[in-house]
Chains A and B, each alone.
Chain A
Amino acid sequence: MSSKEKIKSTRRFDVCPVTETSAGIPLKEVYGPQDLENVDYKNEIANPGEYPFTRGIWNNMYRGKLWTRRVFTGLGSTADTNARYKYLLGKGASGLYCFGDTITHQGIDPDHPLAQGYAGVSGVSIVCLQDMYDLFDGISLEDVSVSFNNPCMAATVVYSAFVAYAEDMGYDLKKISGSILNEPIHLVYSMFETNAKPLDLAAKLATDVIEYSIKNTPRWHPIAPNAYDMHEKGANAIQEMAFTIAIMEEYIQRMIKRGYDIDEFASRVNVFGCACDIDFFEEICKFRAARRVWAKLMKEKYGAKKPESCRLYLSVHTSGNSLTVQQPVNNVARVTLESLACVLGGLQSFDPAGYDEGYYILTEHSALTSLNIHNILAYESRVASVADPLAGSYFIESLTNKMEDEMFKIINEINDMGGAIKATESGWIGSEMDKELIKEQKEIEEKKRIIVGMNEFIVSKEEEVPIEVGRDRPLEEQMATSKKREDKIKKLRETRDKRKTKDALENLREVASKGEGHNLVPLMMESLRAKATLGEILGVIREANGASYDPYKVLQYSL
């Protein structure tokens, strides 16, 4: 390249090239009072802690309680994960995070023929009651909140195992707190759809967990829909929230059909697990707009009277997609920016991704860096001291309004289609997400979206700032980890009292065939106590509902 060309090629970076948000909302050069002319502060914005909670769900926000500071955890055996928990608790973490491995997400056991090599590999494997004893050894469940990332149907079993463990250990169920992802509809287009079929059965089981939880574990959040995966799979910031809210309406309507009043359960089904991407202001406004949409929906559509029914709790894992494998040290800057958006957006909990997320599950060092991003924001930077500090900004309020309008448009469209399950089964939501995904990738290829180190400002491997990254376990080690887990479950099958297990499973099967009106959580707890496994429990429930025992149709029920 001649020096003349070089100068020319850098000059185009002299102006900000961005004229719209990631979701395609046009951006003006400047905003002013005219952009907020028709805004009614009292009804649309209101003070923090007041309906419609645009400015946050508590009046003093982080002065009252800081966000829960979690770090992504879930690796190898239950014992490895337990050791990481103790490490993080010792370093200031206030909540624990449990990410399931691939096969737990799919609801199959480690000795399933297709599971070979997968057990305990990119998350922790939870299959039987014993696993809870190993995971939480030496940790008091009354003092720490636990967030499980398991989707339904597997989530029903994981929740049942957690409650059975807590009960058997003598913890006060009224005091245990945390959440479980549980929601199955999003799986159809975002992740492990085999775990969610038949969809109607999965939605029924997810509702069972909600119903059991509001009565028995009142501090627990029994469903925390996964907006994150939808975002990472293509949904833009507006769609991410609109799809998730439309999905939650399915459960709200099921609970109302079961005879519950909205105020009896709304305050327990109001936690969303979202993404926070790199578009700083759009993300902040996404959180503000979503809170307002939720509040209005609860009050105006479902007739909620209690303020807590209208509060939307938001939790985030910062976007893995926004990170690069090139120059991983740059990801610390990205994650910090995204984490700041979480704080300014008034979130209740978030976990900053590890800078090496593009490589593997966080190392102890990258986990410590993530934890310290929390600590720097919370204690050093002073950004958390004033509630919703951006409120009143012409730009912020105007973008929040625009996003609210767009979210409502999509929610209404889905309602017109007959709800989120219908809009999923017809493929509409999936194809909307694909369109966005293709648009985004195209923009990256055409450099309309600049990603430093990836499509612009590229440096050679040798020039990169050296930094430790998580490394895949070698194949042999991965196979050995999985095999160890497989052997453990095989041993459980051999040594348990088969008769007892079978009786419990048959009892579960009988009740499961009766459909609505029969909550299966207590029977799942009994089956787990009788040493039944995740795959077996879901298998008999599936069979009782006319589906195959094994989602992959390889295994037969054999007890």
Chain B
Amino acid sequence: MKDSNRKIKVVVAMPGLDCHDRGIIYLSHVLKEAGMEVVYLGKFNTPEYIVNTAMEEDADVIALSYLNDHLYMIFFPRVIELLKEKGCSDICVMAGGRIIEEDRPKLLELGITGFFGQSTPTKDMVQHIEDRVKRERWKQ
């Protein structure tokens, strides 16, 4: 059972071989400033590694980012699938980077809680994380 008052813990990671990590560097900074704990995995991760780390770290949130091409449609669903398999669906997964409009409904349906990137103000993302985590912790 998670302590409902402990710091929110976010795993920040990019799956696959995309190298555009400007966004997650800045995001990590913003989340830390907002009082959260950041586990920074950076780029070049497999979905398995991201999920395992989130479990080991007992994280509240996985923040995924992808920009280079279309492979996020393989990596993001795989992260959600692994979380389900391992009974960890209470970990919120959100997506940033360049996620094209047409793909969003499908990802939302799978369980991605929100999309952030390019021009979203980071305070919106901080707010989103705080709301989601409060909700999850309340459920428990």
Using CB atoms and an 8 Å cutoff, list the residues of chain A in contact with chain B. 102-103, 105-106, 114-115, 117-118, 121-122, 191-192, 194, 232-234, 321, 325-326, 358, 434, 437-438, 441, 445, 454-455, 472-475, 478
Q: Kindly report which residue of chain A lies nearest to residue B123, judged by CB atoms.
A: A445
Bound Cα distance A122, B69 (Å): 7
Complex contacts, A122 vs chain B, CB 8 Å: 68-69
Question: B22–A232 contact, CB under 8 A?
Answer: yes
Could you list which residues of chain B lie within 8 angstroms of chain A, going by C-beta atoms? 16-19, 22, 25-26, 29, 44, 46, 68-71, 73-74, 98, 100, 118-119, 121-122
Chain A hits for B22, CB < 8 A: 232-234, 321, 437, 441
A106-B17, A233-B22, A441-B26 known; A478+B119 contact, CB < 8 A: no
Chain A hits for B121, CB < 8 A: 445
Contact A117:B71 (CB < 8 A) given known A438-B25, A438-B29: yes
- Which residues of chain B come closer than 8 Å to A358, judged between CB atoms? 98, 118
Q: In the complex, what residues of B have CB within 8 A of residue A445's CB?
A: 121-122
Structural contact, B70 and A455, CB atoms closer than 8 A:
no
Contact of B26 among A114, A438, A454 (CB under 8 A): A438
In chain B, what residue has the closest Cβ to A325?
B118
Chain B residues lying within 8 Å of A115, measured Cβ to Cβ, are 17
Chain B residues whose CB sits within 8 angstroms of the CB of A326 once the complex forms: 119
| Contact indicator B26/A472 (Cβ below 8 Å) | no
Q: How far is the CB of B132 from chain A (nearest CB, A)?
A: 21
Given A437-B25, A445-B121, CB of A103 within 8 Å of CB of B70: no
Assembly CA distance A391 to B49 (angstroms): 55
In the complex the two chains form, is A114's CB within 8 Å of B70's CB?
no
A-side contacts of B29, CB under 8 Å: 438
Taking a contact as CB atoms under 8 Å apart, the answer to whether A118 and B71 are in contact is yes
Q: How far is the CA of A118 from the CA of B16 in the complex (A)?
A: 9
For B25, give its contact among A118, A191, A434 (CB under 8 Å).
Answer: A434
Give chain A residues whose Cβ lies under 8 Å from the Cβ of B100: 472
User: How far, in angstroms, from A445 to B26 measured CA to CA in the complex?
Assistant: 11
Q: Chain B's nearest CB lies how many Å from the CB of A324?
A: 8
Determine the residue in chain A with the shortest Cβ distance to B121. Answer: A445
Specify the chain A residue showing the minimal Cβ separation from B100: A472
Which residues in B have their C-beta under 8 angstroms from that of A191?
A: 19
In the bound assembly, the distance between CA atoms of A180 and B5 in angstroms comes to 54
Contact, CB under 8 Å: B70 / A474:
yes
* Contacts known (A437-B25, A437-B26, A478-B69); A118 close to B119, Cβ less than 8 A: no
Name the one of A121, A438, A454 contacting B119, with C-beta atoms under 8 angstroms: A454
Cβ-closest chain A residue relative to B103: A475
Q: In the assembly, what is the distance between CA of A100 and CA of B135, in Å?
A: 45
Query: Which residues on B sit within 8 Å (CB–CB) of A192?
Result: 17, 19
Q: A114, B71: Cβ atoms under 8 Å?
A: no
**Min C-beta distance of A43 to chain B, whole Å:** 40
Q: Are B68 and A102 in contact (CB under 8 A)?
A: yes
A121's partner among B25, B44, B46, B69 (CB-CB below 8 A) is: B69
Task: Please report the C-alpha to C-alpha distance between residue A434 and residue B122 in the assembled complex, in whole angstroms.
Answer: 17
Q: Is the CB of B17 within 8 A of A118?
A: yes
Kindly provide the distance from the CB of A201 to the nearest chain B CB, expressed in whole angstroms: 20
Additional A-B contacts beyond A117-B16, A437-B25, A478-B69 (5; CB < 8 A): A102-B17, A105-B19, A106-B17, A437-B26, A472-B69
> Which residue on chain A has the smallest CB distance to residue B122?
A445
Q: In the assembled complex, which residues on chain B have CB atoms less than 8 Å from the CB atom of A455?
A: 119
Cβ contacts under 8 Å, B70 to chain A: 472-475, 478
The 8 lowest CB-CB distance pairs between A and B, nearest first, are A441-B26, A475-B70, A117-B71, A191-B19, A472-B70, A475-B73, A102-B17, A478-B70
CB distance from A194 to the nearest CB of B (A): 7
Tell me the minimal C-beta distance from B96 to chain A in angstroms.
Answer: 13
**Minimal beta-carbon separation of A154 from chain B (angstroms):** 13
List A contacts of B118 (CB < 8 A).
Answer: 325, 358, 454
- Enumerate chain A residues within 8 angstroms of B74, measured Cβ to Cβ: 117, 475
CA distance A351 to B46 in the complex (A): 35
In the assembly, what is the distance between CA of A471 and CA of B116, in Å? Answer: 20
Question: How distant is the Cα of A292 from the Cα of B118 in the complex, in angstroms?
Answer: 37
State in angstroms the CA–CA spacing of A494 and B72 once bound together. 32
B residues in contact with A106, CB < 8 Å: 17
Contacts of A475 in B (CB 8 A): 70-71, 73-74
Give every chain B residue within 8 A of A434 (Cβ-Cβ). Answer: 25
Q: CA of A327 to CA of B26 in the docked complex: distance in angstroms?
A: 24
Quick one: which of B68, B71, B74 has the most chain A CB within 10 A?
Answer: B71
A selection of 8 A-B contacts at a CB cut-off of 8 Å is A102-B19, A117-B16, A117-B69, A122-B68, A192-B17, A232-B22, A234-B22, A434-B25
A437 to B28, CA, bound (A): 12
| Distance in Å: Cβ of A271 to nearest Cβ of chain B | 23
Q: How far does the alpha carbon of A478 sit from the alpha carbon of B118 in the complex, in Å? A: 23
In the complex, A234→B46 CA distance in Å? 26
Taking CB atoms, residues of chain B closer than 8 Å to A478 are 69-71
Q: Is the CB of B44 within 8 A of A194?
A: yes
A440 to chain B, nearest CB (A): 9
Chain A residues with CB under 8 Å of B122's CB are 445
**Chain B positions within 8 Å of A321 at CB level:** 22
Query: How distant is the Cα of A220 from the Cα of B21 in the complex, in angstroms?
Result: 32
Q: With the chains together, A445 CA to B68 CA distance in Å?
A: 23
Most buried by B among A106, A232, A445: A445
Which residues of chain A are within 8 angstroms of B19 by Cβ–Cβ distance? 102, 105, 191-192
A194 cross-chain contacts in B, Cβ below 8 A: 44
Q: How far is the CB of A76 from chain B (nearest CB, A)?
A: 12
Query: Which A residues lie within 8 Å of B68 (CB)?
Result: 102, 121-122
Of the listed residues B26, B29, B68, B69, the one surrounded by the most CB atoms of chain A closer than 10 A to its CB is B69
CB nearest neighbor in B for A455: B119
- The chain A residue with its CB closest to the CB of B71 is A117
| B119 pairs with A114, CB closer than 8 A | no
Closest CB in chain B relative to A485 CB, distance in Å: 14
A16→B112 CA distance, assembly (Å): 42
Q: Which residues of B contact A114 (CB under 8 A)?
A: 16-17, 46
| CA–CA, A233 and B29, complex, Å | 15
Interface centre among B19, B25, B29, B44 (most CB of A within 10 A): B19
Please measure, in the bound complex, the distance between the C-alpha atom of A9 and the C-alpha atom of B29, giving whole angstroms. Answer: 30
